[in-house]
Amino acid sequence: MKIEIARQAGFCMGVRRAMRLALRAAETSPGPVYTYGPLIHNPQALELLRRLGVEDLREHPDAQKGVVIIRAHGVPPEEKKALENRGFKVLDGTCPRVARVQALARRYAREGYQVIIIGDREHAEVKGILAYTQGRGAVVSQVADLESLPPLEKYVILSQTTQDEELFAFLSQEILSRWPGGKVVNTICHATHERQESIRELATRCEAVVVVGGRGSANTNRLVQIAREEKREAFLVETPEELPLEKLEHFERIGVSAGASTPNWLINGVVERLKSHRNPWRKGLLAALYLHGPLSLSVAGFTAGAALLARGTLHLLQPLLTFLLTFFAHTWNLLIARGFISLCQPYKAAFYARYEKPLVGAVVGSFLLALLLAFQENPVIFVSLALLGGLSALYSLTGLRSLFPGNRTFFIPAYWVVLALILSFPWKNLSPLLFLFPLALWQALYLDLLDLFEDGFLGKESLAAFLEEKKTLLALKMLSIFCFSLDIFLALKYDQKFLIMLPLWIYLLGLAVYISRRPLGRRLFLEYLGLSPGLIFGGLAWIMRGVS
């Protein structure tokens, strides 16, 4: 079974903007936070907001204070004014493209035009646009609606932003043929057009199509309709658990698309379930990621590289202790903060809930084994590692999570680096250690960005969430360039063998450029790529050590 993902799927710009506005309000607002109607048409995303305390104002008709977020579809201006008069602080989450249509409707109405809106008359967006026409508007959803239109002379045709291109063109032509001389302004969002075209292309290459999204989402249902118009089997699912795997396994090539209100964590979950079906190797790779096995190996690579370059020798015990203590710190904190993790990685949190007891035993066992091995090796290392492990265990039990914005993304690489420094002591050459923190920070920030791409809630402890996507990508590129420049400097000043590290920094820069395209359905692959820098660093350090 081969899986292909549509080139346009998941949150559109307007929905992502509204969701992030709501998530930020939930975190920063001292009072209650409401949405004016459902923020988006996706039950799972709305459940996430509900768990954060963001509720639909319609369920609290007596509320008089707090923050109210206008949904991406927009609202009539008089309703927004009424909210402000009731004492609410209003955050306008209206999609900029919807706001443009509202502005056009208001402008043309003021100029004396009749405004014809092609769209679903019951849709919140259409109701909002209609309110801007000052009583000079009408909605057309089908040919039959033309019979109820008054004679048109000076008029303009606009569209719901998520309208089907073909239907808009057809109805516009029907109106023009009856009442010539009208203006037509195609206000269909380009992303909607791209999404519909991409599923048409997908349907030509695949035997069946899975569309992920809420059943109450008009644009999601339209994607299913388009796939069926292309004579393909189409399945609408809201969650991975709804996949009809028995039916789908008979198809050799399956396409996956998603509505504009579908978060990436749901799309990735569906793709992963499809790819893992009857594939125990892939399930094992995913479980290893959940258990922080590859991450622990990567951090062991940091220690190995530091020991080889700064100390000149490497013993198996050094990376082994690193592996055990990395597994302990990350798994312990995830067990403690499982509820919080479920807001951005729900499937990982569910895995930890299912296997909580054996995981607790493994965490305690790994810490005790690490301390036993360290005590046998060196009492000073034993005390240092015991203190470091104890401090790491306090992170999710204290206020460290909210110490400053982005703190987790700094604490994690700091833990890795201190671990590597302790286990590579005594140092004979300090210059190679200059790479450690920027390299570890790059890896932590990359993994943080992957979580941001999931469209869940990360909180202010995430540097990627604090910086947002563009600045985080820039930071990854700048860290790569900084390490490259530092490498050149050390090679010129101290030893040309440092040039052996250059491929690593080029690789990191290339990886930062690659993920800027936000590839969907490849979380497993991207996470393994993001854990490779530590291993590459250790491998190149071994080569440097061997070069005379």
Using an 8 Å Cβ cutoff, are 213 and 258 in contact? Answer: yes
* Residue with the larger pLDDT of the pair 519 and 108: 108
Look at 146 and 545; give whichever has higher pLDDT: 146
CA 9 – CA 155 distance, rounded (Å): 35
Please tell me whether residues 489 and 357 are part of one structural domain.
yes
* Phi, psi (degrees; rounded to nearest 5) at 343: -80, -15
**What is the arithmetic mean of pLDDT over 128-134?**
94
- Residue 306 placed within a domain: yes
Q: Is residue 422 part of a domain?
A: yes
**What pLDDT is recorded for position 278?**
84
**Digit-coded pLDDT (tens) for 1-49:** 899 999 888 888 888 899 989 988 988 888 899 999 888 888 988 888 9
Q: Which long-range contacts (CB under 8 A, 24 or more apart) does 386-393 make?
A: 388/325, 388/415, 388/418, 388/419, 388/422, 389/325, 389/328, 389/329, 392/325, 392/328, 392/329, 392/332, 392/333, 393/329, 393/332, 393/333
pLDDT at 439 over 90: yes
Residues present in the chain in total:
548
The total number of structural domains in the chain stands at 4
- At residue 61, what is the residue type? P
Residue 3: inside a domain, yes or no? no
Indicate the residue among 42, 71, 94 that finishes a domain: 94
Residue 311 has pLDDT above 80, yes or no: yes
Q: Are residues 249 and 301 in the same domain?
A: no
Domain boundary among 263, 284, 305: 284
Residue 310 binned pLDDT confidence (cut-offs 50, 70, 90): confident
Contact 442, 533 (CB under 8 A): yes
Q: 406 and 486, same structural domain?
A: yes
Nearest CA to 162 out of 137, 129, 202, 209 is that of: 129
Q: Band of the pLDDT at 423, cuts 50, 70, 90?
A: very high
Q: Tell me how far apart the alpha carbons of residues 97 and 394 are, in angstroms, rounded to a whole number.
A: 46
Q: Is 125 a catalytic residue?
A: yes
Strands 253-258 and 233-237, by their bridges, are unpaired
Instruction: Name residue, tokens 């100390």.
Output: 311
pLDDT for position 444:
96
Q: Say what percent of the chain tops pLDDT 70.
A: 99
Q: Tell me, what's the pLDDT at 132?
A: 95
Question: Is the Cβ–Cβ distance between 537 and 436 less than 8 Å?
Answer: no
Positive or negative CA dihedral for 51, 269, 10, 210?
A: negative
Residue 501: predicted pLDDT: 94
Same domain? For 330 and 393 the reply is yes
User: CATH number of the domain that 244 lies in?
Assistant: 3.40.1010.20
Do 73 and 203 lie in one domain? The reply is no
Q: How confident is the model at residue 354 (pLDDT cuts 50, 70, 90)?
A: very high
142 Rama class: left (phi>0) / alpha (psi -120 to 50) / beta: beta
Residues 174 and 64 both lie in one domain: no
* Residues 231-244, mean pLDDT to the nearest whole number: 94
User: With left for phi above 0 and alpha for psi between -120 and 50, is residue 286 left, alpha or beta?
Assistant: alpha
Helix (H) or strand (E) run with residue 320 in it: helix 317-336
pLDDT confidence of residue 144: 92
pLDDT in the model for residue 517: 87
What pLDDT does residue 385 have?
Answer: 94
Average pLDDT of 334-352?
A: 87
Q: What's the CA gap between 266 and 255, in Å, rounded?
A: 15
* Same-domain check for residues 216 and 302: no
Residues 47 and 130 in one domain: no
Cα–Cα distance between 127 and 124 in angstroms, integer? 5
The answer to whether the beta carbons of residues 544 and 497 sit under 8 Å apart is yes
Domain finish residue from 188, 222, 246: 188
How do residues 381-414 score in pLDDT, each as one tens digit? 999 999 999 999 888 887 777 778 888 899 999 9
**Distance (Å) of CA 156 to CA 28, 107, 137, 184:** 43, 11, 10, 6
N-terminal to C-terminal alpha carbon distance within the chain: 50
Instruction: Find out whether 37 and 71 touch, Cβ atoms under 8 Å.
Output: yes
pLDDT at 377: 87
Contact 289, 283 (CB under 8 A): no
Query: Does residue 343 have a pLDDT over 70?
Result: yes
Whether 448 is in a domain gets the answer yes
At 194, which amino acid appears?
E
- Same domain as 87, residue 129: no
Is the pLDDT assigned to residue 506 strictly greater than 70? yes
pLDDT of residue 236 exceeding 90, the answer is yes
**Long-range pairs for 387-390: beta carbons < 8 A, 24 or more residues apart:** 388/325, 388/415, 388/418, 388/419, 388/422, 389/325, 389/328, 389/329
Question: Per residue, what are the HEC states of 339-392?
Answer: HHHCCCCHHHHHHHHHCHHHHHHHHHHHHHHHHHHHHHHCHHHHHHHHHHHHHH
- Does 5 fall in a domain? no
pLDDT band at 529 (very low <50, low <70, confident <90, very high): very high
Considering the chain, what is the average pLDDT of its residues? 91
398 and 258 share one domain: no
Q: Spell out a b/e string for 128-154, using b for 16 or more CB atoms within 10 Å of the CB, else e.
A: bbbbbbeebbbbbbeeebbeebeebee
Does 165 lie in the same domain as 195?
no
The pLDDT of residue 548 is above 70: no
Token pair 């700064």 is at which residue? 310
Inter-residue long-range contacts of 61-67, CB under 8 Å, 24+ positions, other chains counted:
63/32, 63/34, 63/88, 64/88, 65/31, 65/32, 66/29, 66/31, 66/32, 66/33, 66/34, 67/25, 67/29, 67/31, 67/32, 67/33, 67/34, 67/91
Q: What angle do CA 477, 501, 418 make, to 5 degrees?
A: 80
Question: 54-67 in b/e burial notation, b at 16+ Cβ within 10 A?
Answer: bbbbeeeeebeebb
Q: What domain range includes position 302?
A: 286-546
Quickly count: other Cβ atoms within 10 Å of residue 196's Cβ. Answer: 23
Token pair listed for 275: 């790819």
pLDDT of res. 162: 85
Please report, rounded to a whole number, the percentage of residues in the chain having pLDDT higher than 90.
67
Of 50-59, 213-222, 292-301, 302-311, where does the model show the most confidence?
292-301
Token pair in block for residue 290: 């959940």
Instruction: Note whether 415 and 329 are within 8 A (CB).
Output: yes
For 444, counting Cβ atoms within 10 Å of its Cβ (0-12 exposed, 13-18 middle, 19+ buried), the class is: buried
pLDDT, residue 520, reads 86
Q: Comparing C-alpha atoms, which of 100, 165, 101, 93 is closest to residue 137?
A: 101
Span 337-357, mean pLDDT? 88
For residue 137, being part of any structural domain is answered with yes
* pLDDT beyond 90 at 114: yes
Q: What is the pLDDT of residue 207?
A: 94
Within a 13 Å sphere around the CA of 408, how many CA atoms are in the beta-carbon half? 28
Answer whether 132's CB lies under 8 Å from 106's CB: yes
Determine the Cα–Cα distance for residues 9 and 3; give it in Å rounded to an integer.
14
Integer angstrom CA distances of residue 421 from 307, 384, 386, 512:
8, 11, 15, 27
The active-site residue, picked from 4, 59, 78, 125, is 125
pLDDT interval class at 428 (50, 70, 90)? confident
- pLDDT tens across 449-484, in order? 999 998 888 888 899 988 989 999 999 999 999 999
- Is the domain of 363 the same as that of 429? yes
Which residue type, as a one-letter code, is found at position 452?
L
CATH number for 45: 3.40.50.11270
87 in a domain, yes or no? yes
Adjacent-strand bridge partners of 90:
68
Does residue 421 lie in a domain region? Answer: yes
The pLDDT assigned to 33 comes to 93
Mean pLDDT value of segment 418-429: 88
